[in-house]
Structure 1
Amino acid sequence: MGVRPPVLRGWEPPASVYGPGHRGVDLGASAGAPVRAVAAGRVLFAGRVAGRGVVSVALTGTGEPPLRTTYEPVRASVAAGEEVTAGQVVGTVEATGSHCAATCVHWGLLRGDTYLNPLSLLPPWLLHPGPSRLLPVLGVPPPRTGTTAGADTGAGSRSMPSGR
């Protein structure tokens, strides 16, 4: 499906409708990298806004009004009205038009006029990758083993050093 891009700047909701904040997430990406739809939906817009390429997708089955994702700056490879699937390439990252210090994709999520955190669309395992770590449990006796439930037959008993 592709690589997991780093989050360069997270979602910082404004205190008021017109207040300062960051109404999306900036994902690190190199110019020309594919941009994929996070979920299935219908392309609402694919074109230029204020000199930047923008793709907007209304997500299928997300209520009324539907959730809407936006991606910019993106050179669209889809057209308005087109159905897209989760993971489908909707365009490529443009070399210019990013508001990041490095090239990035600004990914937004809205319901109506309300901005939401786009990372909320991702499963927790994707947000917090890495191996599971089992830590030792101290002060808990080892489980009993034996042929009768609850009976300690001595099978599997452990000899602990006495420290002498």
Structure 2
Amino acid sequence: MRTSRWTGAAARLALLVILTLAALTAPPPSAWLRTAAPAGEERVTPRVARVWPVGARPRVLRGWEPPATAYGRGHRGVDLAAAPGTPVRAVAAGRVSFAGRVAGRGVVSVALTGTGDPALRTTYEPVLASVAEGAEVSAGEVIGTVEATGSHCAAPCAHWGLLRADTYLDPLALLPPWLLRGGPSRLLPVLGVPVPE
């Protein structure tokens, strides 16, 4: 009877050790993720985002669909469900490279700090900017609000894009896995394990 008790306790302890080691050896949030690039060219996207641009975990209305050619059809970003007036946040630290209107839509673009040369740039539209070109922003800082007009979505949304130079990338690649899942991984307490004698 006592042997099976120890065996169960040892198994639970071993599982706890394995889970702890897995959590400690997992790649950091800034691990690099490979993304699509022009033929013959490989790109990596650093997972530098610390927040979603809108909300805590917005619904993706339309995902990234890279065009086959520079002027081909596709979707050069992701559309996130967001009502007009929703605060728009910088997903990572950087410098505002543009804040103004393009084709009648409010656009804010942020060059992300520490993402190589040329730096990655995130774009947000339609956004009524609350920051000016050249401003330094931190992750999670409000850079504007979703405008009521100018969206290409059927439902209210914010379009979030990502570029390196003139190449469009998937902005979701900036998000670490725990942010895509909705929160960091947590170890559960081990209950009912007897203390070894």
- Which TM-score applies when normalising by structure 2? 0.65
How many residues of Structure 1 are paired with residues of Structure 2 in the alignment?
134
Greater fraction of residues in helix: 2
Distance 1:34 1:131 in 2: 23
Task: Give 1:4 shift.
Answer: 1.7
Do structure 1's residue 6 and structure 2's residue 59 form an aligned pair?
yes
2:91 corresponds to which of 14, 34, 38: 38
* Matching residue of 2:105: 52
* Matching residue of 1:116: 169
**Mapping of 1:65-104 within 5 angstroms?**
65-104=118-157
* Matching residue of 1:16: 69
Distance 2:182 2:104 in 1: 36
> Is the 2:119–2:164 contact (alpha carbons within 8 Å) kept by the matching residues of 1?
yes
- Which TM-score applies when normalising by structure 1? 0.77
Cα deviations by residue, 1:19-56 (Å, 9 ceiling, x for unpaired): 10000000000000000000000001101110000000
> Is the 2:161–2:170 contact (alpha carbons within 8 Å) kept by the matching residues of 1?
yes
Aligned to 2:172, the other structure's residue is in SS state helix
User: Residues 124 and 131 (structure 1 numbering): CA distance in 2 closer, same or farther, change over 3 Å?
Assistant: closer
Structure 1 residue runs of 5 or longer lacking an equivalent are 133-145, 148-164
* Bigger radius of gyration among the two: 1
